[in-house]
Amino acid sequence: MKLRFSLLFAGVLGGILFNACSTKKDALLNRNWHALNTKYNVLYNGNLAFEEGREQLNTTYQDNYWEILPVERLQVTNEIRLDSEDNNPNFQRAEEKATKAIQKHGMEIGNEERNPQTDEAFILLGKARYFDERYVPALESFNYVLRKHPNSDKYNEATIWREKTNIRLDNEELALKNLKRLFRYERLKDQEYADARASMAQAYINLKSPDTAIQQLKIATSYTKKGWEKGRYLFILGQLYNQLGYKDSANLAFDKVIALNRKSPRVYMINAHIQKIQNTPITAENREAMLEYLTALETNRENRPFLDKIYRELAVFYANADQDSLALLHYNKSIQATANIPQLNALNYEDLAGYYFDENQYATAGAYYDSVLTNLPENTKKFRNVKKKRDNLEDVINYEKVVQYTDSVITLYEMPVSERRMYFENFIAELKEKEEAARRKEEARVTAGFAAFAETKGGKENKGKFYFYNITSLGYGKNDFINKWGERTLEDDWRWSNKNRIRTSEASGETDLLTDAQGGEELSDDQKYSVDFYISKIPDQTQVIDSLRKERNFANYQLGLIYKEKFKENRLAAEKLEKVLANNPEKRLILPSKYNLYKIYDEAK
Sequence-distant (≥ 6) Cβ neighbours of residue 160 within 8 angstroms: 179, 182, 192, 195, 196, 199
> Is residue 547 a part of any domain in this protein?
yes
Mean pLDDT of 228-255: 96
> Is residue 359 a part of any domain in this protein?
no
> Is residue 199 a part of any domain in this protein?
no
Rounded CA separation 308/298 (Å): 10
Please provide residue 109's backbone torsions phi and psi, each rounded to the nearest 5 degrees: -125, 125
Question: Distances in Å between the alpha carbon of 564 and those of 357, 527, 573, 593?
Answer: 14, 44, 5, 12
pLDDT of residue 511: 41
> Is residue 42 a part of any domain in this protein?
yes
Residue 413 and residue 539 in contact, taking contact as beta carbons nearer than 8 Å? yes
Sequence-distant (≥ 6) Cβ neighbours of residue 255 within 8 angstroms: 272, 276
pLDDT > 60? residue 193:
yes
Which segment, 59-68, 207-216, 359-368, is predicted with the most confidence on average? 207-216
Question: Distances in Å between the alpha carbon of 220 and those of 155, 230, 233, 234?
Answer: 20, 8, 8, 10
Rounded CA separation 600/605 (Å): 9
Rounded CA separation 354/362 (Å): 10
Residue 477 and residue 485 in contact, taking contact as beta carbons nearer than 8 Å? no
Q: Which residue has the higher pLDDT, 115 or 57?
A: 57
Work out the percent of the chain whose per-residue pLDDT is above 90. 46
Query: What are the tens digits of pLDDT across the range 85-137?
Result: 556 787 777 777 767 666 654 445 445 555 566 777 888 888 888 888 889 99
If residue 100 lies in a helix (H) or strand (E), which one and from where to where?
A: helix 89-105
Structural domain of 580 = 543-603
pLDDT of residue 159: 95
* End residue of a domain, out of 152, 183, 207: 152
Among the residue ranges 32-46, 516-530, 560-574, the one predicted with the least confidence is: 32-46
Distance of alpha carbon 372 from the chain centroid: 9
> Is residue 90 a part of any domain in this protein?
yes
Please provide residue 321's backbone torsions phi and psi, each rounded to the nearest 5 degrees: -90, 10
Among the residue ranges 54-63, 276-285, 308-317, 444-453, the one predicted with the least confidence is: 444-453
Among the residue ranges 87-91, 217-221, 237-241, 475-479, the one predicted with the least confidence is: 475-479
Would the pTM of this model clear 0.75, i.e. be above it? Answer: no
Instruction: Output the CA torsion sign for 471, 476, 481, 483.
Output: positive
* End residue of a domain, out of 133, 152, 171: 152
Which segment, 92-101, 326-335, 519-528, 531-540, is predicted with the most confidence on average? 326-335
Instruction: Output the CA torsion sign for 78, 84, 89, 93.
Output: positive
- How does DSSP classify residue 517? T
- How does DSSP classify residue 305? G
Sequence-distant (≥ 6) Cβ neighbours of residue 377 within 8 angstroms: 383
- How far apart are the two ends of the chain, measured CA to CA in Å? 115
pLDDT of residue 10: 52
Among the residue ranges 62-76, 78-92, 413-427, 575-589, the one predicted with the least confidence is: 78-92
Residue 306 and residue 270 in contact, taking contact as beta carbons nearer than 8 Å? yes
Rounded CA separation 126/161 (Å): 8
pLDDT > 90? residue 488:
no
Question: Distances in Å between the alpha carbon of 544 and those of 10, 377, 409, 429?
Answer: 116, 49, 10, 30
pLDDT > 90? residue 326:
yes
- Long-range interactions of 116-120: CB distance < 8 A, separation 24+: 116/31, 116/35, 116/152, 117/34, 117/35, 117/38, 117/39, 117/43, 118/38, 118/148, 118/149, 119/145, 119/148, 119/149, 119/152, 119/154, 119/158, 120/38, 120/39, 120/43, 120/154
> Is residue 1 a part of any domain in this protein?
yes
* End residue of a domain, out of 152, 170, 187: 152
> Is residue 5 a part of any domain in this protein?
yes
Rounded CA separation 425/167 (Å): 76
Among the residue ranges 40-44, 378-382, 594-598, the one predicted with the least confidence is: 40-44
Rounded CA separation 562/564 (Å): 5
Amino acid at 76: V
Q: Classify residue 191 as exposed, middle or buried by CB count within 10 Å of its CB (0-12, 13-18, 19+).
A: middle
Mean pLDDT of 486-492: 58
pLDDT of residue 150: 84
pLDDT > 70? residue 173:
yes
CA angle 64, 190, 71 (to 5 degrees): 10
Collapse the DSSP code of 116 into the 3-class scheme (helix H, G, I; strand E, B; otherwise coil) and give the result: coil
Look at residues 192, 66, 59, 44 and name the one whose alpha carbon lies nearest to residue 121: 44
**What rounded mean pLDDT belongs to the chain?**
81
> Is residue 418 a part of any domain in this protein?
no
Q: 218-248 burial string, b = 16+ CB within 10 Å, else e?
A: ebbbebbeeebbbbbbbbbbbbbbbbeebbe
Q: How many structural domains are present in the chain?
A: 2
